Amino acid sequence: MQEIKDTDAKPTPPKKPLIFYYIIAMIVVMLLNALLFPSVLERQVTEVPYNEFLDMVDEGQVTEVALSEADEQLVFIAGEDENSLRIYKTGIWPDDGQRLLQQLRSDPNIDFSAEIPTQANPLLSFIVSWVFPIFFFLIIGELLSRFMMKRMNKQMGGGFGNAMTFGKSGAKIYVEESATGVTFADVAGQEEAKESLKEVVDFLHEPGKYADIGARLPKGVLLVGPPGTGKTLLAKAVAGEAHVPFFSISGSEFVEMFVGMGAAKVRDLFKQANEKAPCIVFIDEIDAIGKKRDTGGLGGNDEREQTLNQLLAEMDGFDSGKGVVLLAATNRPESLDPALLRPGRFDRRVPVELPDLNGRKAIFRVHARKVHIQEPVDWDMLARATAGASGAELANIVNEAALRAVRLGRQQVTQADLEESVETVIAGAQRKNAMISAEEKKIVAYHEIGHALVAALQSHSAPVTKITIIPRTSGALGYTMQVDEGNKSLMSRAEILARIATLTGGRSAEELIFGKDNMTTGASNDIEQATKLARAMITRYGMTDEFDMMALETVQNQYLGGDASLTCGAQTAARIDEMVSQTIRQAHEKAYNLLKDHEDQLRRLSDYLLERETITGEEFMKLLQA
């Protein structure tokens, strides 16, 4: 990042100020009025006595006369030069009125008109001739100046446009009156996290009872967990329950192009927080500014590092007794600087993990309150079918079900809508117009029945709940769904081996029915999952006699996919590869032998699936036991 040494330097002003152009515009207006337009201000209305009017008639000065019967006045024009014409008016002498009118009408040199010559209002003439043109030029000049400033702002990367906001935090502020609109009642599936945060709310409500015993409020609470588990929602719920101002800002908003601006934003944020104490400050994705400091040969003079240093200093400086609580969220806690995590800064770490079975049921019910549901709905089955789903994914499932109900012209969401939305989120929407040949469809049917049959013939496999050969938008031509009856947090070695065998069941069925030369590419995802499980058995779970409980790999970013890297030598890595291959090969042989021993059932079930395209787990088990 390039360092800007003189951050106070102002942009070079234009060569001539704008007032110069405004003066030029006024001079142009004056010249136009003087040279091109006749001055209506010279055409003033003058009252003359009746005798003087008669003298002017006799002398032949009157050229145009009009009668105003309502006002009993004559309005006339005298003069020869058009630019020096003057408009007069006079009252009609009662005795001589008729005689005078006849004389004027009979005089060929006088234009006697029924219409009274009009004159523009002097004030209106002044506005039209002077004020309006000046304002017109001023507006044009202002628009041009703004256009030029925008172009200069784009060319300089926003330097001019942001000049007045340097050092401002830009945090969204939810004051007590408007609140965040979220309470703990809107958060489900995170009971342990809610219990930890309720203490913060209680402190903000009754700080006295904590002060009496000598306890102090944690300065910072760090929420860690996978994406979509409700970390931001929990922070808003704390503010909603405490009824205090809530400052919300993302960690990336502190990072600026100019060195020192991030630190200035941190100072401004804490200044605002101290002014509105008690309050809650929430920094989302704090890993954007809180990463471990590593100079890397750059001398440590980095904008991100300066922002972190300022954050550390502010956390040390503010008094927790005022009721300022700092909440932060991240899904990469291992990347944070140790100085940020020490006691006295982020005193409490609250895990916000993926919800368990009861948590998923509670989340479904919370989001179901917002849509019209047709009872009864088996929330337990839906919760078991969505093992490993986050709160955001569960909310999306309910929304997809509502959208499906609208598409089908219904006003309520049914159990079928929810089940289909689960499959849509997991495997993608149905591809109803996909063109698949009869031969490929037959292969897919045997492949999926192979998975289901191997799972059903083993004692440590989850029950099959659905089998389908309808293509999905994710690319799958079919899939077999297995759902555990209860909430599973641990897997035994026997269960992992049974799972690997089930994954190889699709390829085994293809080999058994169509021969090894006709095996297809449909097992690519099965191979990937089986290899991952077999490697984890050896390197992470210590489920081998040869390596026993030796750690052979480390997992980083556990909340973002869990990237693993081996921590062993080349010879050990080669041996691990051999053992992974051997484990998968044994599971493949087991699956092949199971299907060979039950080939008749494999063919019968595959023909039934080919005819129906989709069957439930109950149908599958009845046919298997028949």
Q: What positions carry a catalytic annotation?
A: 448
Asked whether 62 and 76 are in contact (CB, 8 A), the reply is yes
Q: CA 341 to CA 222: how far, in whole Å?
A: 9
**What is the residue-wise DSSP string for 103-156?**
HHHH-TTSEEESSPPP---HHHHHIIIIIHHHHHHHHHHHHHHHHHHHHHHHHT
What are residue 351's DSSP bridge partners?
Answer: 224
Give residue 105's Cα distance to chain centre.
84
Q: CA 533 to CA 584: how far, in whole Å?
A: 9
Residue among 253, 258, 17 nearest 160 (CA): 258
The DSSP element (H or E) to which 98 belongs, if any, is: helix 97-106
SS3 65: strand
Phi-psi region of 72 (alpha: psi -120 to 50; beta: other; left: phi over 0): left
**What is the residue-wise DSSP string for 461-506?**
SPPEEEEE---BTTS-S-EEEE--SS------HHHHHHHHHHHHHH
Q: Which residues contact 83 (CB under 8 A, 6 or more apart)?
A: 38, 39, 42
Burial-class residue 603 by CB neighbours within 10 Å (0-12, 13-18, 19+).
middle
Residue among 328, 149, 151, 165 nearest 256 (CA): 165
Residue among 205, 219, 529 nearest 347 (CA): 219
Strands (E) across 140-286 are located at 172-174, 220-224, 246-250, 279-284
Residue among 454, 469, 462 nearest 615 (CA): 469
Backbone φ, ψ for residue 237 (5° rounding)? -65, -35
Q: Spell out the alpha helix ranges (H) of 515-616.
A: 524-539, 570-597, 599-612
Q: CA 492 to CA 490: how far, in whole Å?
A: 7
Residue among 334, 337, 339, 345 nearest 292 (CA): 337
Residue among 324, 326, 410, 329 nearest 374 (CA): 410
Write the CA distances from 317 to 311, 320, 548, integer angstroms. Answer: 10, 9, 50
Asked whether 566 and 576 are in contact (CB, 8 A), the reply is yes
Write the CA distances from 294 to 191, 298, 577, integer angstroms. Answer: 37, 9, 35
The tally of CA atoms less than 13 A away on the side-chain side of residue 176 is 8
Residue among 333, 399, 343 nearest 366 (CA): 399
Asked whether 421 and 400 are in contact (CB, 8 A), the reply is yes
Q: CA 528 to CA 532: how far, in whole Å?
A: 6
